[in-house]
Structure 1
Amino acid sequence: MAATISDIAKAAGVSLATVSRVLNNSGYVKLETKEKILKIMKDYNYTPSAIARSLSKKQTNTIGVIVPDITNPFYGEVFRGINKVAENNNFNIILCDSHESIQKEIRSIQSLREHRIRGLLITPTSCEDDQNVDCLNELNNLGIPVVLIDGHLKHSNFSGVFVDNLESSYNAVNSLINAGHTKIAIITGRMNSKSAQERLDGYKKALEENNIQVNNEYIFYGDYTLESGYNLTNKILELHNGPTAIFTSSNQMTIGAIKSIREKNLSFPEDIALISFDRIDLFNIIGLDISYIDGPTTELGEIGMNLLLNSLNSDDKVDVQTITLKSSLVLKGSEKYYKK
């Protein structure tokens, strides 16, 4: 079993506080005592943990990150951006997955607080739940800054970096209309998420500006999961004289939609057109030409981490900053219209 800081203190005949001062090179310790403690550490092959080093400082050099679904490649790329900036500034990261659950999100916030994090980057599961806002406000009041990444919160005042979801969705649906489609279905995300609300608003805006009546029968409410994309696409394809195109509001739901289309031996865009919100690298690898909205995923992480560093490195209160990034629309042919 590895030696602990208590073992070192006991062997040296000193207090935990004295060992902590040696670990952190802070406070007065007699040279003879310091040399004795360092020798015992060496003899015990002791490697101090980040928590041990934090005993006298009352903090760690650790940043907390909470995302809704770590298996989603979108958040993997966001995390890559966060990690790049964190490593360059000698910060460690504890990554938590809320699994799209507000209860797990709150438990993660409380756990990270117990780990004495310096700051928190979070994509909230819900923009409308006061419970997560209360927990985050408590962190902020303790001097632990919070930065939002592509996830808004009502009744809060945190800095954040976001994608222009409304414009991105508008451009995607507009491209379907320009290709000749008038009957377009949307599979939304969770409607307690502001990003899902904005993507639906962009869909409606594109239809209305092209004098196409919004048909509520073509709006299918998903939850960002593959399963919802699959099940709702099944329903879309069963509609009599139904939509000629589908706009999916997330990459995972796009995968579910394609599974449904393929199982019915249909093809796109010949049988049904499709545009995805978010890039799916696997499609490029296997030669599946799906049109998509390409978001600045890595940049989201980098900018979010830099916003957090600005708060940590400032002696004064930092003004709240909101940064909105543009996406690009990549058309690969799946948006085309084929007359039946």
Structure 2
Amino acid sequence: MGATINDIAKKAGVSLATVSRVLNNSGYVKEETRTKILDAIKDLDYTPSAIARGLSKNEVNTIGVIVPDITNSYFGEIIKGISEVAEEQGLNIVLFNTDDKLEKELRALNVIKEQRLRGVIMTPIFGGDDFNSQYFNTIESLSMPIVLVAADIKYSTFNGVFVDNIKGGFEATNLLIKEGHEKIAIITGLLSSERAIHELIGYKKALTLNNIRTRDEFIFKGDYKLDTGYKITKKILSMEDKPTAVVVCSNMMTLGCVKAMLEEHKKIPEDLSIVGFNKLEFLDMVGINLTYVEDSPIELGKAAMTMLNERISGKAINEVKRIRISPTIILNGSEKIKK
């Protein structure tokens, strides 16, 4: 553990207030005393906290970023977009990973509030039909600019940058229908999130418009995790009346899906056609080319940080701004039907 201001004061034989005046270059301090304090700082190898310095001046130059899974390359790209714009604006980032757990998200929000950061960009966990008063009260008590990215919170009107996930779910399913598939499964995200709900709405809409019956046994509830995609795909492959295609609503679940296919010595798309969500560079590197819905996470991050900076700088502070980006489909052949 590093040295503290108390350690410096003790070593220099002065008060905490005198040390504070030297650290913040404020108020009069005798040159002899200043030299003692600076020598103590050097001897103790003291590094002042940027947050502590900022708090003393009421100008913390740091924002909080909350994501549900830091190991997922999709959120890594969102963070990259945020950091590129933040660096241009001279802002620092404190990153929080929630592991898709509501209690961790609440804890992160409370830490951000305690440290009085300049603002927060977050991909929320909660967004479903259940109203959670503790969750909403925590967010509303932050008293700082908030920008949501990639996922919305139902019943809220926070500023945010989102994806048209109904269109994403529709386009992925409609593509498979155009290829001749009628038995199409979906592995959803967490249905407590509005994103996953919207993707499922898009899936059902495509089936209905093409006069294909929605089959409950083809709707699999996932959670964006690799292991879930793997287990569900194993189940799909073992079904007696199995689907010929599947829409997989996250890149990590798609990776799990591919893992299960390889283990079962099944081929894509001959044994099961797949349309995933978001790019997985690892699959490209090993020669597995999957068709996927692309929503440009780096651009999402850049747009979210630009929006937050507008609020921090006082521009359009009373205007609610909500941008919705339209996804595109990148065709790589995994949507084809078995001939």
TM-score normalized by the length of structure 1: 0.91
Letter of the aligned partner of 1:229 in structure 2?
A: G
Match of 1:96 in 2: 96
Letter of the aligned partner of 2:324 in structure 1?
A: T
Q: Structure 2: where are the runs of 5+ without partners?
A: none
- Equivalent residues in 2 for 1:111-130, closer than 5 Å: 111-128=111-128, 129-130=132-133
Letter of the aligned partner of 1:28 in structure 2?
A: G
Match of 1:28 in 2: 27
Q: d(CA) in 2 for partners of 1:321 and 1:35?
A: 52
Q: Secondary structure at the match of 1:125?
A: coil
Match of 1:255 in 2: 255
Counterparts in 2 of 1:145 and 1:245: CA distance versus 1, 3 Å? same
Q: Note the alpha carbon deviations across 1:161-214, whole angstroms, 9 max, x for none.
A: 111111122111111111111111111111110000110111111111222222
Match of 2:142 in 1: 139
Match of 1:330 in 2: 330
What is the root-mean-square deviation in Å for CA atoms of aligned residues?
A: 2.1
Q: Is the contact made by 2:310 and 2:317 (CA closer than 8 Å) also made in structure 1? A: no
- Equivalent residues in 2 for 1:260-299, closer than 5 Å: 260-299=260-299
Q: Is the contact made by 1:279 and 1:295 (CA closer than 8 Å) also made in structure 2? A: no
Counterparts in 2 of 1:217 and 1:55: CA distance versus 1, 3 Å? closer
Letter of the aligned partner of 1:333 in structure 2?
A: G
The aligned length equals 335
Cα offset, 1:15, TM superposition: 3.9
Q: d(CA) in 1 for partners of 2:259 and 2:307?
A: 39
Residues 8-17 or 156-165, more deviating: 8-17
Letter of the aligned partner of 2:330 in structure 1?
A: V
Q: Is the contact made by 1:5 and 1:52 (CA closer than 8 Å) also made in structure 2? A: no
Q: Secondary structure at the match of 2:141?
A: helix
Letter of the aligned partner of 2:294 in structure 1?
A: D
Cα offset, 1:79, TM superposition: 0.7
Q: Secondary structure at the match of 1:48?
A: coil
Q: d(CA) in 2 for partners of 1:37 and 1:227?
A: 56
Q: d(CA) in 2 for partners of 1:61 and 1:136?
A: 20
Cα offset, 1:37, TM superposition: 4.1
Q: Secondary structure at the match of 1:204?
A: helix
Counterparts in 2 of 1:20 and 1:303: CA distance versus 1, 3 Å? farther
Q: Is the contact made by 1:230 and 1:258 (CA closer than 8 Å) also made in structure 2? A: yes
Letter of the aligned partner of 1:29 in structure 2?
A: Y
Q: Note the alpha carbon deviations across 1:268-306, whole angstroms, 9 max, x for none.
A: 111110010111110111110111112210111111111
The yes-or-no answer on 1:87 pairing with 2:119 is: no
Q: d(CA) in 1 for partners of 2:320 and 2:16?
A: 40
Counterparts in 2 of 1:295 and 1:171: CA distance versus 1, 3 Å? same
Q: Is the contact made by 1:133 and 1:155 (CA closer than 8 Å) also made in structure 2? A: no
Q: Secondary structure at the match of 1:54?
A: helix
The yes-or-no answer on 1:192 pairing with 2:192 is: yes
Q: d(CA) in 2 for partners of 1:199 and 1:250?
A: 11
Q: Secondary structure at the match of 1:224?
A: coil
Match of 1:302 in 2: 302
Counterparts in 2 of 1:55 and 1:248: CA distance versus 1, 3 Å? closer
Q: Is the contact made by 1:8 and 1:37 (CA closer than 8 Å) also made in structure 2? A: yes
Q: Is the contact made by 1:59 and 1:116 (CA closer than 8 Å) also made in structure 2? A: no
Residues 313-322 or 105-114, more deviating: 313-322
Q: d(CA) in 1 for partners of 2:105 and 2:57?
A: 27
Q: Note the alpha carbon deviations across 1:241-266, whole angstroms, 9 max, x for none.
A: 32110110111111111122222211
Cα offset, 1:237, TM superposition: 1.7
Letter of the aligned partner of 1:227 in structure 2?
A: D
Cα offset, 1:43, TM superposition: 5.1
Counterparts in 2 of 1:336 and 1:132: CA distance versus 1, 3 Å? same
Counterparts in 2 of 1:314 and 1:17: CA distance versus 1, 3 Å? farther
Q: Secondary structure at the match of 2:121?
A: strand
Q: Is the contact made by 1:105 and 1:132 (CA closer than 8 Å) also made in structure 2? A: no
Structure 1 runs (4+) deviating above 6 angstroms are none
Q: Note the alpha carbon deviations across 1:59-114, whole angstroms, 9 max, x for none.
A: 52221111111111111111111111222222221111111111111112112322
Letter of the aligned partner of 1:126 in structure 2?
A: F
Match of 1:221 in 2: 221
Q: Is the contact made by 1:64 and 1:112 (CA closer than 8 Å) also made in structure 2? A: yes
Q: Note the alpha carbon deviations across 1:26-72, whole angstroms, 9 max, x for none.
A: x4334636566445434544332213313422452221111111111
Match of 1:165 in 2: 165
Counterparts in 2 of 1:87 and 1:109: CA distance versus 1, 3 Å? same
Quick one: percent identity of the two aligned structures?
45
Counterparts in 2 of 1:11 and 1:280: CA distance versus 1, 3 Å? same
Counterparts in 2 of 1:227 and 1:6: CA distance versus 1, 3 Å? same
Q: Is the contact made by 2:189 and 2:223 (CA closer than 8 Å) also made in structure 1? A: yes
The yes-or-no answer on 1:311 pairing with 2:308 is: no
Q: d(CA) in 2 for partners of 1:307 and 1:300?
A: 11
Match of 1:65 in 2: 65
